């Protein structure tokens, strides 16, 4: 049986090494499971602590995806099995998954050493959570990124409440509500990627690590890695950014006047002659109203929160949202039965109870917050 994460090290000309972790579940587009998190996280921490490790590389097996998101099907089956046995409590795997996933994401965000994430192919949900915090984020011409949680009755987590808020203008809220896919140029414009390279350059980039003399100074290594990637990226074609092209329209579409007017404008957008915008509006219209309300609530709440506070808040919200019927129904319709015909609890956002959303923000654990130690 193959390892779910392949761990190895790249020797360099100066005797120092790079850690290299490859998500290895190409059959599920490298969907991030608890088993993968538990294999990667301790090794990541060990590499950070090892003075002979000068940087870390994250990538995915196969040519289709870096990581298509968290393994929500596993959560779905755990919840369904518990309900079938008459157990109404939250299955232990749910809090375990979110705590350990968010810890890993936070470790990447705060790593003092260079972290290269090769975001080739599909990068969605939990995959963006891994990539967003890396110091050197590579997208390729085949990169397709999205936060598609509105289609499964969730919301953009894995720090999404933090990094979506930091995108240009109101584009982050647009992506949260519509789950619109973005390409490499969009990712650079939105602040989710730093470099655009041809995927064929990857072998040469990793080989160049071994031919380079690295320093004991992390700041020097950050600059050397940036230079290496910039040189390799000079030959890459650059796609057009839909986010940049439609920036002013998106800003006006989202506006500052509340969720209900946004919904009305998105409904009109569904008839737009621009296919990318019309498809985004259609995805919103098919999505869970509860997800739209929750995403908007977090957008408003997270403006002045630190990254650590965002992960603590998202942990609370994820425990609540995952146990709601819309999550199970969304995963069933999109990923299990694949009929793409979810039956949401609410017909529209007007039917979503404000108290229900407020309850999602409250702690669902006893004692100290499980992520209280995040600085």
Inform me whether the pLDDT recorded for 1 exceeds 80: no
Q: What is the mean pLDDT of residues 153-173?
A: 98
Inform me whether the pLDDT recorded for 233 exceeds 90: no
Q: What is the mean pLDDT of residues 66-90?
A: 95
Write out the residue range of the structural domain in which residue 98 sits. Answer: 5-360
Q: Is 233 a catalytic residue?
A: no
With respect to residue 143, please indicate whether it lies within any of the assigned structural domains: yes
Choose the catalytic residue: 55, 121, 125, 126.
Answer: 126
pLDDT confidence of residue 2: 79
With respect to residue 368, please indicate whether it lies within any of the assigned structural domains: no
With respect to residue 37, please indicate whether it lies within any of the assigned structural domains: yes
Q: Is 88 a catalytic residue?
A: no
H helices of 3-135, in order, are 34-49, 72-84, 93-109, 126-132
Q: What is the mean pLDDT of residues 322-334?
A: 97
Taking Cα atoms as reference points, which of 14, 32, 13 lies closest to residue 22? 32
Residues 174-222: tens digit of each pLDDT: 999 999 999 999 999 999 999 999 999 999 999 999 999 999 999 999 9
Q: Is 149 a catalytic residue?
A: yes
With respect to residue 370, please indicate whether it lies within any of the assigned structural domains: no
Choose the catalytic residue: 99, 101, 157, 324.
Answer: 157
> Residue 92 contacts by C-beta under 8 Å, 6 or more apart in sequence?
none
Choose the catalytic residue: 19, 55, 60, 70.
Answer: 70
Count of domains in the chain?
Answer: 1
Inform me whether the pLDDT recorded for 243 exceeds 80: yes
pLDDT confidence of residue 235: 80
pLDDT confidence of residue 285: 97
CATH number assigned to the domain comprising residue 147: 3.90.226.10
Chain-centroid distance, C-alpha 48: 22
Residues 108-119: tens digit of each pLDDT: 999 999 999 999
Q: Is 157 a catalytic residue?
A: yes
With respect to residue 54, please indicate whether it lies within any of the assigned structural domains: yes
Choose the catalytic residue: 59, 105, 149, 201.
Answer: 149
With respect to residue 365, please indicate whether it lies within any of the assigned structural domains: no
User: Could you tell me the two tokens for 244?
Assistant: 């940049």
pLDDT confidence of residue 76: 97
With respect to residue 79, please indicate whether it lies within any of the assigned structural domains: yes
User: Could you tell me the two tokens for 291?
Assistant: 């997800």
Q: What is the mean pLDDT of residues 153-178?
A: 98
Res. 31 pLDDT band, cuts 50 70 90 = very high
């Amino acid at each position: 049986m193959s390892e779910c994460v392949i761990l190895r090290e790249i020797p360099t000309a100066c005797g120092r090494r790079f850690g290299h972790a490859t998500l290895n579940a190409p059959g599920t587009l490298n969907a991030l499971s608890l088993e993968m998190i538990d294999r990667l996280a301790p090794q990541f921490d060990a590499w950070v602590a090892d003075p002979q490790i000068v940087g870390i590389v994250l990538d995915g097996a196969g040519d289709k995806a870096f990581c298509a998101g968290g393994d929500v099907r596993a959560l779905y089956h755990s919840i369904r099995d518990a309900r079938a046995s008459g157990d109404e409590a939250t299955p232990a795997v749910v809090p375990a998954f979110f705590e350990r996933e968010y810890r890993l994401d936070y470790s990447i965000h705060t790593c003092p050493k260079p972290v290269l994430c090769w975001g080739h192919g599909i990068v969605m949900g939990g995959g963006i959570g891994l990539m967003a915090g890396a110091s050197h984020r590579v997208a390729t011409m085949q990169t397709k990124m999205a936060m598609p949680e509105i289609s499964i009755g969730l919301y953009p987590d894995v720090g999404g409440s933090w990094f979506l808020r930091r995108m240009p203008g109101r584009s982050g809220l647009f992506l949260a509500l519509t789950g619109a896919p973005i390409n490499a140029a969009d990712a650079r414009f939105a602040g989710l990627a730093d470099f655009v390279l041809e995927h064929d350059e990857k072998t040469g980039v990793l080989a160049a690590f071994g031919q380079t003399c690295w320093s004991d100074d992390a700041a020097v290594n950050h600059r050397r890695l940036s230079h290496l990637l910039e040189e390799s990226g000079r030959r890459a074609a650059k796609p057009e950014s839909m986010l940049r092209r439609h920036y002013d329209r998106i800003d006006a579409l989202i506006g500052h006047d509340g969720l209900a007017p946004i919904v009305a404008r998105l409904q009109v957008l569904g008839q737009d002659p621009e296919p990318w915008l019309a498809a985004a509006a259609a995805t919103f219209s098919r999505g869970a109203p509860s997800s739209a309300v929750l995403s908007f609530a977090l957008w408003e709440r997270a403006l002045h929160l630190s990254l650590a506070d965002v992960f603590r808040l998202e942990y609370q919200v994820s425990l609540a949202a995952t146990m709601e019927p819309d999550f199970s129904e969304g995963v069933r319709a999109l990923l299990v039965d694949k009929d793409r015909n979810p039956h949401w609890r609410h017909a529209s956002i007007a039917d979503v109870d404000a108290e229900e959303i407020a309850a999602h923000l409250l702690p669902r654990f006893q004692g100290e917050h499980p992520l209280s130690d995040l600085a």
